[in-house]
């Protein structure tokens, strides 16, 4: 027996939407956490705010993130994964589209040993041209 949908409205709080965005972001490849430092973590424990996640619901849904990324993973790919995960999670949760997502990568998470991995295929920094970054098609702040 099929259940007929009942017309009406639903209300989703900003905090619930921030939780959806936070969960989708932390589940993405390469994301190690949110920026915010010890003060941000204290504010989060008090339940006053979610550091590193800002969601505004004015004319549409706009998301701004401050994340840290694991050392050695491509930052542009992490940003694409986060963007895709957030759009999918919000669409599934509230059946609305996200307008704009701004991702700030505020740092790299270095492994406990502190040794930086050596990449045999990496170009020396003096051989990277500005055009190489422009050709990558990435809009990561």
Q: Which of 116, 39, 30 is nearest to 79 (CA)?
A: 30
Predicted confidence at residue 123, as pLDDT, reads: 47
Q: Tell me what pLDDT residue 21 has.
A: 95
- Residue 117's pLDDT is 52
The per-residue pLDDT for 77 is: 93
Cβ atoms of 44 and 113 within 8 Å: the answer is no
The domain segmentation of the chain, as residue ranges, is: 14-111+125-135
Write down the pLDDT at residue 22.
Answer: 93
Residue 131 to residues 4, 105, 112, 136, Cα–Cα distance (Å) = 55, 21, 35, 9
Closest CA to 17 of 62, 59, 67, 52: 62
Average pLDDT per block of 10 residues along the chain, 141 residues long: 68 85 93 80 72 87 92 91 96 92 88 59 51 52 49
Please tell me the pTM assigned to this model. 0.69
In CATH terms, 14-111+125-135 corresponds, of 3.30.70.1350, 3.30.1490.20, 1.10.3720.10, 3.30.1330.10, to 3.30.70.1350
């Amino acid at each position: 027996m099929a259940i007929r949908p009942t017309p009406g409205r639903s209300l989703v709080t900003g905090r619930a939407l921030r939780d959806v965005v936070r969960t989708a972001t932390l589940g993405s490849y390469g994301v190690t956490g949110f920026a915010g430092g010890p003060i941000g973590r204290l504010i989060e424990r008090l339940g006053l705010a979610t550091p590193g996640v800002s969601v505004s619901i004015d004319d549409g849904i706009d998301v701004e993130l401050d994340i840290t990324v694991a050392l050695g993973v491509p930052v542009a790919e992490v940003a694409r994964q986060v963007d895709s995960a957030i759009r999918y999670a919000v669409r599934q949760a509230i059946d609305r589209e996200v307008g704009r997502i701004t991702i700030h990568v505020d740092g790299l998470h270095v492994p406990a040993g502190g040794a930086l991995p050596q990449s045999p295929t990496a170009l020396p920094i003096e051989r990277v041209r500005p055009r190489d970054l422009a050709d990558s098609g990435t809009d990561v702040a």
